Structure 1
Amino acid sequence: MTRFWLGGYGPAMEGSAEGIGVLAGDEGREATTLAYRGPVTQTPSPSWLAAHPSLDVVYAALEGDAAVQAFARTGELALTPLGDPVPTGDGVCHLAVSPNGQTLVASCYGDGRVVRFALAADGRLVPAKEDAAAALRAALFGDGDPDAAPATPAGDGIAAVDPYGAAGRASHAHAAAFLPDGRVATTDLGFDLVRFWRLQGPGLVLDQEVVLPRGTGPRHMVVHPSGHLHVVTEYSCEVFTLAAAADGTWDVVSSAPASPIAQIGVDFPAELARSKDGQFLYTALRGSNTIAALRVRGSGEALEPVALADSGVDWPRHHLVYQGKLLVAGQRSDTVTLLDLDERTGAPLGVRHEAQAPAPTSILPLR
């Protein structure tokens, strides 16, 4: 049986999900048997799910509660909390786990924070420790200036600053990706930034920022097997490709429209996913509710839009490529669709199956 954990929005976030759910279908017969099998946790709005690379542990971003929680798989289709929810940041919307299973990075849309957590040997979240030296100074000399801004919590990255200095804009961290050289890339949708970090001590140290054109809104990313970083933009409906120079400095090397007929202000790209062989990328356009396919050119440094197809859902919040097919989560239609993909051209071939599911926002394959 093919099975997936399903994250979604609960009533507090205008959805109907009761917690992490299960989507399952018979192996080889998903097109006719894929169905929602019910919730396995009572968790408020687990809007993004991420897996530990080697343990049967799932991490959920509790977006409405500004927290992250770990769950251990304790049965065929059972998850048990691995500790209490850990406070993170306002509107935490994305989680990324390091390949060695030692670090989790959370991106917070509401306050723009990028937060690093250590992971214990059993996958449990380890809350960041406060600065012992700062605590000692406070104990000896008092709390300092009462009007001063609060200290940045341990584990947080440096707060973003708008490179354009424009009024009325706010930082909105949206996604993170671990890079082959051990650094972490994050997007800031509000400030049009792709930021690069080094892991140092218990926290993050900002290494570099790449500024995208004003108003593009970088959202999600894919690390290509070639080492290139592809970034989809929510506001300008583009995919930017970044590459690292010999000295490790990143820069934009190309950009392409998600689709030649995407409408800025009507379409809002969400997720970006790649085919297993890295030949194609797929992004979903919320608004027209379509899936755009792009071919990867050269050694990964350029993209070419090749196809656009109906996603079969309303507001395609998340999608993934799985065994040559595309699964699409429709946040507003309460459905998940399965689309066939043309192996040669990469084009979506139309909706094969639709399953009812409560406000789905994240699909994660079970081990």
Structure 2
Amino acid sequence: MTRFWLGGYGPAMDGSAEGIGFLAGDAGREASTLSYRGAVAEAPSPSWLAQHPSLDVVYAALEGDAAVQAYARTGEAALIPIGERVAVGTSVCHLAVAPNGSSLVASCYGDGRVVRIGLDGAGRLAPARPDAAAALRAALFGDDDPDAAPATPPGDGVAAIDPHAAEGERVSHAHAAVFLPDGRVATTDLGFDLVRIWRVPATQGLILDHEVVLPRGTGPRHLVLHPSGHLHVVTEYSCEVFTLGPSPDGTWSIVSSTVATPIAQVGVDFPAELARTRDGQFLYTALRGSNTIAALRVRGGGDALEPIALADSGVDWPRHHLVHEGKLLVAGQRSDTVTLLDLDERTGAPLGIRHQAPVPTPTHILPVR
């Protein structure tokens, strides 16, 4: 049996999820059905989930509560909170865990904060100090000891000091993070059209290394690391996918870009997640608005993309999706459903909807390890 943890929005965020949900399905590539088994841990709007790399511990971004909580797995399908929740920033919407399990990075859409939280040997969260907004201040204004700086107060995030916009013109919206092979962290700022590269000190916090500036108004949202070492970044406002690559000195830059699909309508369609196949041959992004899935083929050495297909997602407002066992699972935030789509193994194109399961306001799907 194939099993998944489900993130979702609760009543305080106009949803019906009661906490972290559990979804079960047939195993293997011939899987044909999905079944929602209810909430396995009470949590207020756990909109994004992340797995510890070596422990049976799951982390939840409690978006409406501006906090992160750790949960330990007990039995086949149960989670219990461990340790104390840690306050981060407004509308925390994404978590990324370090490959060695030493820390996680929380991205906060509401105030632009990017917060690094240490993890102990049992996977519990350590108190956060300081966040990336404090580190960015240190990088820009020359503070001597950014790790000793206090966390910035609520509402005083990266937006107030961004060097690429005049004050008041734009608002910072941190949206996702990924740990790079060299130990640094890449994050997106949807509001300022930036991908920031951070160094990770031995203590806590993050230190700004450099920034990659995307065209104004593109809105970089989520990003995925390709096996080739390139970063693919989907943009919420311009319906594009940018490919970033590192130079020998470690500086990242844009190497190519393409539309997610030639028929995407800017201002009507809003791409959400970006997911890839295990071998890195294909990428998929979901267009909220037309409620479609766009497939792209990875060309060259991972440095170029080509749109190849567009298909019905089978849901309303496809918030998240992932490739699993040769199929695509799609979470429909507004339709209260998760769909299972077949994928053509040779061409990468979605072939159609195999199954649809009712699920309360799903926002994220995480395979149970």
> Aligned with 1:110: secondary structure?
coil
Letter in 2 for 1:197: W
Q: Is the 8 A contact 1:102 1:119 kept in 2?
A: yes
Residue 167 of structure 1 and its aligned partner are, at CA, apart by 3.9
State whether residues 57 and 70 of structure 2, in contact with CA within 8 Å, keep that contact through their aligned partners in structure 1. Answer: yes
Runs of 4+ in 1 over 6 A off after TM superposition: none
Shift of 1:164: 3.3
Residue 83 (structure 1) shift: 1.5
* One-letter code aligned to 1:109: Y
**d(CA) in 1 for partners of 2:130 and 2:260?**
43
Q: Cα offset for 1:25? A: 1.4
- Which residue is equivalent to 1:135? none
* Equivalent runs, 1:188-207 vs 2, <5 Å: 188-200=189-201, 201-207=203-209
Cα distance between partner residues in 2 of 1:305 and 1:296: 9
Give the share of equivalent positions with the same residue, in percent: 76
Bigger radius of gyration:
1
**3-state SS of 2:74 partner:** strand
Task: Name the SS of the counterpart of 2:200 in structure 1.
Answer: strand
Q: What is the CA deviation profile of residues 155-192 of structure 1, one whole-angstrom value per residue up to 9, with x for unaligned ones?
A: xx982515132744200000000000100000000000
Say if 2:330 and 2:339, in contact at 8 Å, map to a contact too: yes
Matched residue, 2:127: 127
Per the alignment, residue 145 of structure 2 pairs with none
Distance 1:28 1:110 in 2: 39
- Is the counterpart of residue 115 in structure 1 residue 115 in structure 2? yes
Q: Is the 8 A contact 1:72 1:82 kept in 2?
A: yes
SS in 2 for 1:69: strand
What is the number of equivalent residue pairs in this alignment? Answer: 347
What is the aligned partner in structure 2 of residue 134 from structure 1? none
Contact 1:97 1:103 (C-alpha < 8 Å) held by counterparts: yes
Specify the code of the residue in structure 2 equivalent to 1:186: T
Alignment-derived partner of residue 333 in structure 1: 335
Name the residue aligned to 1:302.
304
By how many angstroms is 1:222 displaced? 0.5
1:273-284 to 2 correspondence within 5 Å? 273-284=275-286
**Equivalent residue number for residue 270 of structure 2:** 268
Answer whether contact 1:196 1:207 (CA < 8 A) is retained: yes
Q: For residues 88 and 166 of structure 1, do their structure 2 counterparts lie closer, same or farther at Cα, with a shift above 3 Å needed?
A: closer
3-state SS of 2:206 partner: strand
Alpha-carbon separation, structure 1, partners of 2:117 and 2:150: 18
CA RMSD of aligned residues (A): 1.8
Instruction: State the match for 1:79 in structure 2.
Output: 79
Deviation at 1:207, TM superposition (A): 0.2
C-alpha separation between the residues in 1 aligned to 2:267 and 2:165?
21
Equivalent-residue separation in structure 1 for 2:171 and 2:22 (angstroms): 35
Cα pair distance change 1:186/1:130, threshold 3 Å: closer
Is 1:48 matched with 2:48?
A: yes
Residue 4 of structure 1: how far off its partner (Å)? 0.1
Distance (Å, rounded) in 1 between the aligned partners of 2:53 and 2:339: 26
Distance in 1 of aligned mates of 2:130 and 2:272: 35
> SS at 1:169's partner residue?
coil
1:150-299 equivalent positions in 2, closer than 5 A:
151-153=150-152, 159-160=158-159, 161=162, 163-165=164-166, 167-200=168-201, 201-299=203-301
* TM norm structure 2: 0.91
- Alignment correspondent of 1:142: none
2:177 touches 2:187 (CA, 8 Å); kept in 1?
A: yes
Shift in Å, 1:33: 3.0
CA distance in 2 between counterparts of 1:67 and 1:22 reads 22
Distance 2:301 2:28 in 1: 33
Aligned counterparts of 1:4 and 1:221: Cα–Cα separation in 2 = 22
Change (3 A) 1:126 1:218: same
TM-score of the superposition, structure 1-length normalised? 0.92
Q: 5+ residue gaps in structure 1?
A: 132-149
Structure 1's 197 and 18: CA in aligned 2 closer, same or farther, altered over 3 A? same
| C-alpha contact (below 8 Å) 2:52/2:58 kept by paired residues | yes
Q: Would you say the 8 A contact 2:93–2:107 is kept in 1?
A: yes
Q: Distance in 1 between matches of 2:281 and 2:130?
A: 45
Cα 1:32–1:302 shift into 2, 3 Å: closer
Say if 2:130 and 2:205, in contact at 8 Å, map to a contact too.
no
Contact 2:28–2:325 (CA under 8 A) maintained in structure 1: no
Amino acid at match of 2:332: G
- How far 1:223 moved relative to its partner? 0.2
CA contact (8 A) 1:232 1:240 kept: yes
User: SS of the residue aligned with 2:64?
Assistant: helix
**Is the 1:295–1:304 contact (alpha carbons within 8 Å) kept by the matching residues of 2?**
yes
